[in-house]
Amino acid sequence: MKKYIAGVGALFFTLSSLAAPLQGIGLSVDPTANQCILFTPYQQMSSNMNGNEPQDLVAVSQQTGIKSFNLAFIKDNGVCDPIWSGNNSVASGWGQQLMANMRKAGLEYRISFGGADPRDLSNKCSVSQLISIYQNIINIYQPTGLDFDIEHSTVNVPNIITALKTIVVNNPNLKISFTLPVMPDGLGSLGKKVVSEATKANLNYVVNIMVMDYGSAYTKDMAVYAMQAAMSTFNYLKTVYPQKSSAEVWQILALTPMIGVNDIPGELFTLANTDTLNVFAEEHNLAWLSMWSVGRDRPCSDTKASSKCSGANAQSKPYEFSQHMLQCSKKPEPTECLPPANIKSKVSSNKKAITLSWQAPQNSKPIANYQVNNYKDVLLWKGTAVTFTDNTLPGKNGTYGYVLYSQCASGLSKGIKYSVVIK
């Protein structure tokens, strides 16, 4: 028996033969949702344009309201010696005053290792050296967490995980996250290896997926791709943690888009994409949202990815993406979640497809699509008129049953059974 599901914070339904019980299958709705998600953007910690010190993030916070940052990146200078991007030495305490000022201002920050640069500390450092380096960085900079941006197969994942087992014992309040590349259909082998190793080590961690730079074939709606990637990763994490509830698994997941022009030509993450991703994050109560990066959150007309602006006139003023990220997009909604209405169907001439159409209630919000394991990948765009085509029919006469739901902030509507007879 095949079962299909579709909908992101919106409408979803199942398909089954009427010979079997009709049943609804969907994501659980987290009752703690409907809240602002922590926004913690990345900042490239190279020297600013006015000297050798990093950008004043306290001033950025005062201007924007950002309360948390990911500070990137610490890498290896080639001899198992940690340096910041821009080749500023950790041993010299570079950036220490900035972080002291951030703590005084009540700001949180993670320190991120690795990144696109393949010179990861794990490549040439032993486990004992990594433990010493990580602990020294914690002592110097006093971060609230450590983030590991792992993008290259050359990274020695087992050494990182083994070192972290000691680090978290000695620093029990330290938060750990792994920032991993992803495609709309989920994590690759490297990302799954990181999750597997971290899980076997019994680490508590967040998986932060980089919803960006998919490839030349992905040039349409970047918010849709991001939500597909999130759903695919969520479903993988459900297999890793079968004992956890859906709400608990969502709390393991964070999302980081690259604002504006991405590194791949044709990929553009817009302010509208930001708003859509906010809705998705709120409805599923993710661990946090981020972006690459604070330094790029300013307007320009560049058509290629820049480290200094978002490009393509994607914004009209500095920190506009941050302002959108910081907005809680949910509004109070009626407590009753109304079911779909005005359901209609049309059968193809070869009897191999049924197209359903229905009206979504005003307090339900169709957003986009996702794919769940073997389930159908269905587009549900913003608006109230919804259609779905089931093109998997055998081309024979028969009766086919569907159950349609609405999903609102308050939960699910009752299921509406709808059957189509082909004869």
List all residues 6 or more positions away from 6 whose beta carbon is below 8 Å from its beta carbon.
12, 13, 369, 370, 375, 376, 377, 378, 380, 388
Q: Which residue has the tokens 């005062």?
A: 62
Structural domain boundaries enclosing 370? 11-31+336-422
Task: From 284, 301, 326, give the residue that closes a domain.
Answer: 326
d(Cα 314, Cα 271) in Å, to the nearest integer?
A: 7
pLDDT in tens, 328-380: 754 444 456 677 778 888 999 999 988 888 776 655 544 333 322 222 333 33
More confident residue, 21 or 200: 200
Whether 196 and 318 share a structural domain:
yes
* Same structural domain, 46 and 26: no
d(CA 342, CA 112): 51
**Domain finish residue from 300, 326, 352:** 326
Considering the domain architecture, whether residues 249 and 382 belong to the same structural domain is answered as no
Domain assignment of residue 292, yes or no: yes
Strands 175-183 and 186-187 turn out to be antiparallel
From 389, 324, 329, 388, select the one nearest 360 (Cα to Cα). Answer: 388
Residue 265 CA to residue 254 CA, distance in Å, equals 25
Looking at the structure, do residues 192 and 160 belong to the same domain, yes or no?
A: yes
User: For the segment 122-174, what is each residue's pLDDT rounded down to a tens digit?
Assistant: 999 999 999 999 999 999 999 999 999 999 999 999 999 999 999 999 999 99
CB atoms within 10 A of CB 266: 12
Q: Are residues 83 and 166 in the same domain?
A: yes
Among candidate residues 291, 326, 361, the one where a domain is terminated: 326
Same domain, 344 and 232: no
Distances (CA, A) of 44 to 60, 61, 213, 264: 14, 15, 18, 20
Tell me, yes or no, whether 81 lies in a domain: yes
pLDDT of residue 337: 66
Residues 233 and 356 both lie in one domain: no
| Total domain count, the chain | 2
0.85 exceeded by the pTM?
A: no
Whether the Cβ atoms of residue 259 and residue 297 lie closer than 8 Å to each other: yes
Give the residue from 206, 74, 195 showing the smallest Cα distance to 133: 74
Whichever domain contains 216, its CATH number is 3.20.20.80
Residue 191 pLDDT grade (very low, low, confident, very high; cuts 50, 70, 90): very high
